[in-house]
Chain A
């Protein structure tokens, strides 16, 4: 069969592991810390020593509920813990404490606006579990186990297979990443494996008036958005081509499988068939008690939820008149978005504040490797700077220079503008003098402006730029523009 004989559609769901940003591990007091000396962040509990018992870290549970609520999930009134049994050297008890049949959150939906469309997936469940340690195979002839990571709290989020393109998957994962960092639930550093994506992928194929489905493959542990997109694109093509090559194959012969992603070669690689999957022998964890969550608890946590990124962006677009791109930049993290709102509350005009965020605050933050919210400049000072531009006290170029100084100085932008001699000159006589000088020195441009309608606009802009230049940035561009226009329109003396 040829590709032109069939139509096909991609089906993608996700399992996503989010490492929670708690100070200590899920069931013991050990620090959660990346890069510490091997096995230095361990105790009898996370080493699984005989006689040691787990005690729940309430903070991890709260962060999980927060995430569940932010994804529109219901919180189970009573949730419990289960042991998932399998043998692995970096799993010291040879069982993992997880949640099996009663996850703490279930039944949500996460919707992401994307252009004029919405990317949306139902959330089946979110449950809390402990991470395993790491087995290192670097030394020839032996394997070494580092249990620093053992017992780190992970939230596992499982979606329905509602995603239908690699692009949508990329959008969905990016936004979920933003949500967990925004909520402070996770640092979600992807290189450190603090957020890992596992898409399960198959294809519905229509041929001869029938629908066929390819076996589902699950691509394990993707740790960048780019690899999520590429792995899905690759799998889509691979599954379609495999089917075309052998349309008769059925699930008996080709079971669901786990695959790994080879980023260098840009291909997925078979790991194991799912039929060989373990019998995990789940049963209720007798060392931990059930967790009861009252409606009042849920209401309290719901109350404590901040305005979430998606509605916040929508508000900035609809109420503050921002472009979608600018809104996305400003709501990239919660501190930055809070700073924006604070600057506006302090009297900064939203359009000017957002211009300044995108034009120079973002660059200054980027140069320092932080977010705008972490620059350490108070919202009121940012608002004041924007207001000065709007009122014509300073021009935009001056604002940029003042902003740089604001990072080191705690003086008000007013005082800085004074001290730096950047206060705009609103004096018409002085400005007229600069205009005269510019007209004298740029006869060609003046000529263009007067006689060539096609070039008039550009010429006016050029003349105004020259005024700004010879004024050392002190001219008010609006006033200069008005005077230039007036002079051009005036009847000539000669």
Chain B
């Protein structure tokens, strides 16, 4: 299957029709996804209709947009109007949003065809896509292992070459960690770069939508389409969107890359360390300068993250009460029973756990000790990045301490699961953009990711460096055996 860029080029040149591209994609999903579990809904008829429409308009000479005819899969916590938006939750089974997310509108107006909605941890809460209420997403490199999460469906679908590209959402690493586990590229943009309108909120101050792609060029292409100011999201930032694709060839000679020992401490798997260090060497050979930096508050990031994210989640998920939409229990005794039974039946264990954690940290008497303290730690973490970016242009690190773990291994141990986010949550807490790029395989042949992060709104620099890295390495060209 072609990449997004290749598909767009082929459609533009008339070598491939949008209908062909979409057909190949939905056929591949039909053929392969039964084993993987990456996809929750496919809208074959709708997608083919949309593709036919694009072909007709292209034939009439219309300049549709930079990704005309490219099939895209969208994480199922992003609202689309032609298919359900379930957040992989029982509570939203069959729920169809009456409005489309800003990113969905931007994709469609740039000519993309939304072919499928991808699997995720329920309400994006998890690091393995095992907490999906429907089925887990498996890692195409090893079907006994997790695809990561929460955007595990998007990552697995791109890795398995059943879609050219996808959108995910990243609250604490939910794009980058599954990208690393499945050997694809995942970008979390700066907070405010992409509108959250239509993204079903998990941690509102942390959530960002971003691309999951085969290579950095595709990530730049998709980001150019989905980024930009949206008046419907008060936290979206009004500043110009660069042409990220045009910026990719910016040379990296003299680029200062910060390496923080805080990211390479205990718990980091040797194979991951070795691969990331090799990646750093490649960047240095290409002309970048490696500089040691410190992010002294990084060790508090996980604790801070799980307070902030769960607090916001407990409030964001309060609306799923069975009164207005979503799952409602049968024959409630009274309004209290309607609430509690609907929520008890509609939510899975991990979602309940986080709602309880978040409710606890916001409770009177505990607020100062938990939530307020977490906000202060968050300010310190942000300050760490500000200080580091005085000295360096990018910061490099592993994405995950290990490669993809076996399905079931951590699902009974929430704390071990939470620690899988140890290197990724800090970018969400600080709001900076960060990307995961494949940088090798471990001894079991499982992919490893390298993380680069950049100052706020410097996705252009981030993507250029990642692209330069891919131009001298071939890790991103490897794919799982079919």
Contacts and interface: CB of A to CB of B under 8 A. Distances in A.
- Indicate, yes or no, whether A interacts with B: yes
Contacts of B314: 281
Given A50-B92, A279-B364, A288 B199 contact: no
Max count, chain B CB within 10 A of own CB: residue among A51, A89, A282: A51
B200 A87 contact: no
A56 B87 CA distance: 27
A53 interface: yes
A93 interface: yes
A283 B311 contact: yes
Interface stretch (B96-104, B133-141, B248-256, B394-402): B96-104
Contacts of A143: 335
Interface string A452-470: 0000000000000000000
B112 interface: no
B329 interface: no
17 contacts: A48-B319, A51-B79, A51-B85, A53-B196, A53-B232, A53-B234, A85-B362, A87-B321, A87-B339, A92-B323, A93-B319, A94-B319, A143-B335, A145-B323, A281-B367, A287-B201, A288-B234
A286 B364 contact: no
Contact of B362 (A52, A281, A288): A281
Nearest to A83: B315
Interface string A54-83: 111000000000000000000000000001
B234 A289 contact: yes
A398 B85 CA distance: 75
A47 B99 contact: no
A94 B197 contact: no
A89 B335 contact: yes
A223 B431 CA distance: 47
Contacts of A283: 311-312, 315, 362, 367, 371
A51 B231 CA distance: 14
A105 to B, nearest CB: 21
A145 B321 CA distance: 14
A44 interface: yes
A110 interface: no
B7 interface: no
A54 B232 CA distance: 7
B87 A50 contact: yes
Interface in B335-383: 335, 339, 359, 362-364, 367, 371
Contacts of B199: 51
B352 to A, nearest CB: 16
A286 B204 contact: yes
A89 B318 CA distance: 12
A50 B77 CA distance: 9
Interface residues of A, number: 29
B324 interface: yes
B233 interface: yes
Contacts of A92: 319, 323-324
B205 interface: yes
Contact of A50 (B232, B315, B319, B339): B319
A185 B323 CA distance: 34
Contacts of A282: 362
Contacts of B371: 283
Contacts of B32: none
B232 A55 contact: yes
Interface string A261-281: 000000000000000000101
Max count, chain B CB within 10 A of own CB: residue among A52, A92, A282: A52
A55 B231 contact: yes
Contacts of B323: 89, 92, 145
A95 B319 CA distance: 8
Interface of A: 44, 47-56, 83, 85, 87, 89, 92-95, 143, 145, 279, 281-283, 286-289
Nearest to B311: A283
Interface string B188-211: 000000001111110111000000
Contacts of A288: 234-235
A54 B234 contact: yes
Given A51-B200, A87-B318, A281 B324 contact: no
A56 B231 CA distance: 10
Contacts of B321: 87, 94
B312 A286 contact: yes
A44 B325 CA distance: 12
Contact of B234 (A47, A56, A85): A56
User: SS class of chain A's interface: helix, strand, loop or mixed?
Assistant: loop
A50 B78 CA distance: 9
Contacts of A95: 315, 318
A286 B92 CA distance: 23
Contacts of B101: 51
Contact of B233 (A47, A53, A85): A53
Contacts of A281: 314-315, 359, 362-364, 367
Given A85-B318, A287-B235, A49 B363 contact: no
A392 B79 CA distance: 77
Contacts of A289: 234-235
Contacts of A287: 201, 204, 233-235
Given A51-B199, A95-B315, A283-B311, 11 more contacts: A49-B325, A50-B87, A50-B97, A51-B201, A55-B231, A55-B232, A87-B339, A94-B318, A281-B315, A286-B312, A287-B234
A51 B318 CA distance: 13
B339 to A, nearest CB: 6
B78 to A, nearest CB: 8
Interface string B71-102: 00000001100000101000010010111010
Nearest to A281: B362
A283 B363 CA distance: 10
A52 B325 CA distance: 14
Contacts of B233: 53, 55, 287
A55 B102 CA distance: 15
Interface string B223-259: 0000000011111000000000000000000000000
Contacts of A44: 97-99
A310 B15 CA distance: 79
A483 B16 CA distance: 111
Contacts of B362: 85, 281-283
A48 B311 contact: no
Contacts of B78: 51
A52 B201 CA distance: 9
A427 B181 CA distance: 109
A48 B233 CA distance: 14
B257 to A, nearest CB: 32
A89 B97 CA distance: 20
A47 B321 CA distance: 13
Nearest to A279: B364
A125 to B, nearest CB: 20
A48 B198 CA distance: 12
Contacts of A56: 234
A145 B312 CA distance: 26
Nearest to B372: A283
Please give me the 9 A-B residue pairs with the lowest Cβ-Cβ distance, nearest first: A94-B318, A286-B204, A286-B205, A281-B362, A50-B200, A51-B198, A51-B79, A279-B364, A93-B319
A50 B325 CA distance: 10
A451 B83 CA distance: 104
A78 to B, nearest CB: 15
Interface string B308-332: 0001101100111101110000000
A54 B231 CA distance: 10
A321 to B, nearest CB: 53
Contacts of B99: 44, 49, 51-52
Contacts of B196: 53
B315 A53 contact: no
Interface in B164-196: 196
Contacts of B79: 50-51
B270 to A, nearest CB: 39
